[in-house]
């Protein structure tokens, strides 16, 4: 079967029907969740500290909902309106932006503590886009240069993608390094056709001197374990939907989020009170 990025530009390929089909496919949900957990592991953020992350090509929020679950604040960028619409319907917590990453980012310098991107970068390797822009190297250059600026120093970006050749991996790595990033490629399960995953692990600042982590090897990921974790999440979600309850965040999570907003200078953050984190009764 042909790869999606060879069929049509992303905003056309992920139209209303495909966006729903993609999001509701439990196998896809599971794979995207596993890769997001791995990306977070490679991001290696300090534990118990609030962090504001960028989800590049966030789509319908399958990667973003893991960020929610892990207590991160995040913003997501995607080119496909239908994918973002599904993300809104699913009430993900991140702020969503409709944007072509090949045009580069316009975020304030140092806005993010880290970035992830799950299954997106291969789209930038294709010249075929409905946008009147230039070649893949130009688009990649704009992407990496502005991503570098949008990250704090030090910080990491972890980008999982599906290259079709070593040349593609080399091209992407070179352009990222020219944009100022340190780091390189991590390949998990390199000898498995099914489980092989490529992650570009990029460092801004001090981290550049650090060695790129080793990829996972030999043993295949424990599918049964992954499935159990995933099924438990789904059960929780179903119960929540049935009972008509929306997500209720715990007090610590809300306090962390408010604290981060205040430190970022956001005005009108509500005061902490004894009700913070408690479900309010609806008043009609």
Ligand X SMILES: C[S@@+](CC[C@H](N)C(=O)[O-])C[C@H]1O[C@@H](n2cnc3c(N)ncnc32)[C@H](O)[C@@H]1O
* From 14, 52, 74, 161, residue interacting with ligand X (rule: CB under 6 A): 14
Among 73, 92, 96, 118, binds ligand X (CB under 6 A): 118
Cβ proximity to ligand X: between 19 and 256 the closer is: 19
Task: Pick the closer one to ligand X by CB: 86 or 260.
Answer: 86
Close Cβ partners of 9 (under 8 Å, ≥ 6 residues apart): 128, 129, 130, 131
Token representation of residue 137: 């190297």
Q: In the structure encoding, which two tokens stand for residue 201, read together?
A: 């692990």
Residue nearest to ligand X (CB): 59
DSSP helix/strand/coil, 161: strand
Closest CA to 229 of 22, 21, 37: 37
Strand order in the sheet with 112-118: 95-98, 73-78, 52-56, 112-118, 151-161, 197-204, 182-188
Judged by CB under 6 A, the residue of 43, 86, 120, 201 near ligand X is: 120
Query: Between residue 61 and residue 80, which ones bind ligand X under the rule CB under 6 A?
Result: 62-63, 77-80
Q: How far apart are CA 59 and CA 80, in angstroms?
A: 7
Q: Are strands 73-78 and 112-118 parallel, antiparallel or unpaired?
A: unpaired
**Choice from 39, 43, 58, 186 touching ligand X (CB under 6 A):** 58
In the complex with ligand X, the residue whose CB is nearer, 77 or 204, is 77
Name the residue nearer to ligand X (CB basis): 124 or 158: 124
Residues near ligand X, by CB under 6 A: 10, 14, 32, 57-59, 62-63, 77-80, 83, 100-102, 118-120, 123-124
């Amino acid at each position: 079967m042909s790869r999606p990025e060879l069929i049509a530009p992303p905003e056309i390929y992920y139209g209303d029907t495909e966006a729903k089909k993609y999001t509701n496919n439990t196998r896809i949900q599971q794979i995207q969740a596993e890769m997001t957990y791995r990306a977070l592991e490679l991001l290696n953020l300090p534990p118990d500290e609030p962090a504001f992350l960028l989800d590049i090509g966030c789509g319908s929020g399958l990667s973003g909902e893991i960020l929610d679950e892990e207590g991160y604040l995040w913003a997501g960028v995607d080119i496909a309106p239908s994918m973002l619409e599904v993300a809104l319907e699913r009430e993900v917590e991140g702020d969503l932006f409709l944007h072509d990453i090949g045009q580069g980012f316009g975020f304030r310098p140092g806005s993010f503590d880290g970035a992830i991107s799950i299954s997106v970068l291969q789209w930038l390797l294709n010249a075929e886009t409905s946008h009147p822009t230039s070649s893949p190297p130009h688009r990649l250059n704009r992407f990496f240069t502005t991503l570098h600026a949008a990250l704090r120093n030090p910080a990491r970006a972890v980008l999982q993608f599906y290259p079709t050749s070593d040349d593609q991996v080399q091209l992407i790595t070179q352009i990222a390094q020219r944009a100022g990033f340190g780091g390189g490629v991590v390949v998990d399960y390199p000898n498995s056709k099914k489980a092989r995953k490529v992650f570009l692990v990029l460092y801004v600042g001090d981290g550049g001197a650090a060695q790129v982590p080793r990829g996972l090897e030999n043993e295949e990921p424990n599918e049964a374990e992954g499935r159990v974790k995933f099924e438990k999440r789904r059960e929780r979600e179903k119960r929540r939907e049935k009972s008509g309850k929306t997500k209720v965040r715990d007090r610590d999570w809300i306090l962390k989020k408010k604290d981060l907003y205040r430190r970022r200078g956001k005005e009108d953050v509500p005061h902490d009170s004894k009700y913070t984190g408690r479900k309010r009764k609806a008043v009609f």
